[in-house]
Amino acid sequence: MGILKEFKAFAMRGNVIDLAVGVVIGGAFGGIVNSLVGDVIMPIIGVLTGGVDFSGLSYTVGKAVIAYGKFIQAIFTFIIIAFSLFMVIKGMNATKKKEEEAPAAPPAPSKEEVLLGEIRDLLKDRR
C-alpha cells in the first residue's frame, strides 16, 4: 500500500501534470505544423521551384525506395517547430528579464552602519 501512495503523490505533483499537458499540446502543435508544412508551405516551394512536389521525390535502388522528398519535408517541419519554440522561449525570457530588472528596495542599514554613521556625523560636528 505504501508504494501506491508514493506513486500517487509522485503522479499528482505539479511537474508531472505540467509535463503531461505539455506532451499533449506538443502533439497537437506537431499536427498543426505538419499540416502547415505539407499543405501550405511545400506547395508554395514546389511552385517556386518549377512545380516540384517534394513529397513524391524518391529514388529506387533495387526493390528499396528512398523517399528523400519526405525527408526534405520533415526538415522543413523541424525548422518551423524549432523556430516557433525559439520565439516562445525568447518571449518568456524577455518577460523574465523585465521582472528581474525591477529595482529592489535597498536593504536597511545594519546597526553597525548606523552607529558608524553617527560617529562620522559627531566627528564632523567637532571640527
Which residues lie closer than 8 Å to 45 by C-beta, 6 or more apart?
A: 54, 76
CA-nearest of 76, 75, 77, 57 to 67 is: 57
Tally of structural domains, the chain: 1
Residue 22 lies in a domain: yes
**What's the confidence (pLDDT) of residue 82?**
82
Residue 112 lies in a domain: no
Residue 9 lies in a domain: yes
Measure the CA–CA gap between 120 and 115, rounded to whole angstroms.
Answer: 9
Q: Determine the residue type at 82.
A: A
Residue range(s) defining the domain that contains residue 57 = 2-104
**Residues linked to residue 105 through DSSP beta bridges, in sequence order:** none
Q: What are the DSSP E strand ranges found in 29-86?
A: 59-61, 64-66
Three-state DSSP state, 69: helix
**What's the confidence (pLDDT) of residue 14?**
66
**What's the confidence (pLDDT) of residue 85?**
77
CATH number of the domain enclosing 61: 1.10.1200.120
**What's the confidence (pLDDT) of residue 1?**
62
Measure the CA–CA gap between 127 and 124, rounded to whole angstroms.
Answer: 6
3-state DSSP percent of the chain in helix, strand and coil, to 5 = 75, 5, 20
One pLDDT digit (tens) per residue for the chain, 127 residues: 688 888 777 777 767 777 788 888 888 888 888 788 778 887 887 788 777 777 778 889 999 989 888 888 888 878 887 887 788 788 888 887 776 666 777 888 888 888 888 888 888 888 7
Backbone angles phi, psi at 106, to 5 degrees: -65, 145
Residue 113 lies in a domain: no
Residue 109 lies in a domain: no
